Structure 1
């Protein structure tokens, strides 16, 4: 089932929202308000999550509040990668959560946290153990990124690419399972907390890893998954068939689904990070997905955002 809907992904990061096209996030705010209201109208039981911010920025939350965004969501989410991209220590996680709690009464979820094995697999083991110690029980939801390594030949969805140097290549080492299907040492540690710590796993269009991912999650005892349904993908041939297959495969998990990625032909600029020319079109997509996969008539009672 879908227990929560996240509206966009890392909107305060230029890899996912173009600040040159929307420098004060006014268009983004309108987009979120429309989407949040549309989701609520279809199924009030769905928890609405403001797309996980990266970097963690209380000033950005205040800006969103000033735009009225927080009236259209139930949860504020954060993402953090202190051993790979962030300029703060992994031991600061509780303080980083507290920074956001200090500026909003909304619950705070950690919807993406991870440690790559780019430097050493032992670092990932340490990072997973320490993350579990610091965050489980501290926030209502924690999602580890990710189950699978991103295959090198696919390329990461980021605007920086090789200009980041080694930072770019870290995108390909965030999984607990290597591209050849063999587990890394940290997988054993994740299995110990799988019932409490969810997984965040993107599935590409017609992703061949879908069935393997479900089998692994069942074996590990994972209960909660965060993934995405791409607005841009919805315009591909056979998109609905793929969405149906994906959501059917994930039916036994509590899913937080992320709606994001602007179709090139609908953006102010032809890029997935662009604001839409008509934000209502994105809201309509969100409403369609909730109506198709989590209609009010078949939903369970709302999950407490806590």
Structure 2
């Protein structure tokens, strides 16, 4: 049984009609136009506890680096600074910016796992598309891997799609497997054709297929929907390295998460799957007991993927 707080979140999402731009394709198109005209701010909150935040620009993107307070410059002295790097890709249906909940999780990962977290502020659709963004994220991950000797790719929702697609590209094009890829309620197949989706839909207060298809079609640009830079469910899981995935059963992305877990098991791939009954989309980011427990587990998964200090 979900906690009172989790049930309250689900009720609130229905009351505020959080799914308004997902259940109606026309509203999704109007939302895209609004975001085009009125871009959202992306800077982190003024105070994030226990971390230092720096900003750089590479290839025209703002790229934040979040490190534990008191650390030396990232990667400078073995054993003195963060042990490895995490590249975190935020969700938001490829059209919405990073928000406070993302920054809070990012700070927790940096602080509690003692890692450097790189946060690319990637261009959103229609200004950015899957091919361009996934390839640039792959280059960023390769740089982090080279500097720090290992990289964890992580992301939620749309960011989970980017993270797994980049992990696949990192292996296919560069022969590098991430230390781990961590997926929170990931979008895995942007065709949204899984027959389980209509079964879950009545229980999902947040996402829906009509608007999801509008956002996904804009995001994929000229790439076919089964390209691994768009739908990483089509990729070679056996070569990508260990994966950790979180998914709630009241999320229309859950059927594809289950399918990914089934395919990984059939291939003998290393996938750790945490499925939360009756939890909604991106529940690990929410202020609920289930969310807090998932965040602790996520940090443990990051820490367990790192080489011990020498």
The alignment's TM-score, normalised by the length of structure 1, stands at 0.38
Q: Which has the higher contact order (CA 8 A, sep 6+)?
A: 1
